[in-house]
Amino acid sequence: MGTGYMLRCRKCRYEISANLGIGFRFPLAYQETMEAARTGTFGKTIKHFLEDHPDGALNIDEVFLQCPECGALKAGPDLSMYIRNPDVQRKEQGRWSVALPFEDADYVSPMELEQDRSYVYYAPGQICEKCGKPLKSITEIDLMKNDIASGHNTGQTVLSCPECKESLWVDGIIMWD
Ligand SMILES: [Zn+2]
Ligand SMILES: [Zn+2]
> Do 104 and 117 share a domain, yes or no?
yes
CA–centroid distance, 124 to ligand 2, in Å, is 14
> Do 63 and 83 share a domain, yes or no?
yes
> Do 115 and 152 share a domain, yes or no?
no
> Do 80 and 105 share a domain, yes or no?
yes
Cα 117 to Cα 77: distance, rounded to the nearest angstrom: 22
Assign residue 79 a region: left if phi > 0, alpha if psi is -120 to 50, beta otherwise? left
User: Using an 8 Å Cβ cutoff, are 157 and 146 in contact?
Assistant: yes
Q: Give the model's pLDDT for residue 101.
A: 47
CA–centroid distance, 103 to ligand 1, in Å, is 46
CA–centroid distance, 113 to ligand 1, in Å, is 34
> Do 36 and 122 share a domain, yes or no?
yes
> Do 101 and 146 share a domain, yes or no?
no
> Do 128 and 159 share a domain, yes or no?
no
CA–centroid distance, 152 to ligand 1, in Å, is 23
User: Using an 8 Å Cβ cutoff, are 164 and 15 in contact?
Assistant: no
Q: What's the Cα-to-Cα distance from 126 to each of 10, 17, 22, 141, rounded to whole Å?
A: 27, 19, 18, 19
145: Cα separation from own chain's centroid:
16
> Do 143 and 165 share a domain, yes or no?
yes
Domain count, the chain: 2
Indicate the pTM of the whole model. 0.83
Cα 49 to Cα 58: distance, rounded to the nearest angstrom: 10
The parent domain of residue 170 ranges over 1-19+139-177
CA–centroid distance, 72 to ligand 1, in Å, is 12
Angle, helices 26-38 vs 44-52, to 10°: value is 100
> Do 155 and 81 share a domain, yes or no?
no
Running DSSP on this structure, what letter comes out for residue 89? Answer: H
Indicate which ligand has the atom closest to the C-alpha of 8. 1
> Do 132 and 173 share a domain, yes or no?
no
Indicate which ligand has the atom closest to the C-alpha of 7. 1
Q: What's the Cα-to-Cα distance from 26 to each of 117, 127, 159, rounded to whole Å?
A: 21, 24, 26
> Do 83 and 150 share a domain, yes or no?
no
Indicate which ligand has the atom closest to the C-alpha of 126. 2
CA–centroid distance, 58 to ligand 2, in Å, is 22
CA–centroid distance, 32 to ligand 1, in Å, is 35
CB neighbour list of residue 4: distance below 8 Å, 6 or more residues apart: 17, 18, 19, 20, 172, 173, 174, 175, 176
Count Cα neighbours of 166 within 13 Å in the Cβ-side half-sphere.
Answer: 11
> Do 42 and 32 share a domain, yes or no?
yes
**What is the residue-level pLDDT of the chain in tens, covering all 177 positions?**
578 899 999 999 999 999 887 766 778 888 899 999 999 999 999 999 999 999 899 999 999 999 999 999 999 999 999 999 887 765 555 444 344 444 445 678 888 888 888 899 999 999 999 999 999 999 988 887 765 555 555 688 889 999 999 999 988 888 766
